[in-house]
Amino acid sequence: MKLTIKTDRYALNASCGCTKGGTNACGITYRTGQ
């Protein structure tokens, strides 16, 4: 059994640019939409 993990440092300013939010919920706008 090989156990691996992926870790990244998250950027606080990574979102669509809207300053109202803070959960990155709409960030997928920039990936595939819904």
Partner 1 sequence: MKKMEFTGGVKLQPGVFSRSYSPREGKSVSVAYHTPSQSITFLEDDSAEVWKRLYESGGETAPALDYILKNGTFEGDPQSEAKEVLLSFVEQLRASHLLNSPGTPSIALVETSQAECSVKTAVSQTENMELEVSQFMADHRMLYSLVVELTYRCNERCVHCYLPEETRLKELSLGQIDSLLGEFASLGGFMILLTGGEPFIREDFIEILSLVKKYGLVTSINSNLTLLNDRILEAIASIHPRSVGVSIYAGRADLHDAITTNKGSFEKSVNAIRRLRKAGVPVIIKSPLMKSTAPHWREIEALANDLGCDYQFDLSITAKNDGKLSPLAQRVTDNAVLEDIFASRYYRLYVNDEPMSAMVGPSPETGLCGAGASGLCISPDGVIRPCIGLTTPIGRWPENSLDEVWRTSPFFSEFGAIRMNEITPCNNCSDFKYCSRCPGAWHAEHGDYRKPSSYSCTLAHAWATVQQR
Q: Which residues lie near partner 1 (CB under 8 A)?
A: 1-34
Residue 4 Cβ vs partner 1, minimum distance, rounded to whole Å: 5
Q: Nearest-CA neighbor of 15 among 1, 32, 34, 30?
A: 30
CA distance 9 to 32: 23
Residue 21 Cβ vs partner 1, minimum distance, rounded to whole Å: 5
DSSP state letter for 25: G
Residue 30 Cβ vs partner 1, minimum distance, rounded to whole Å: 5
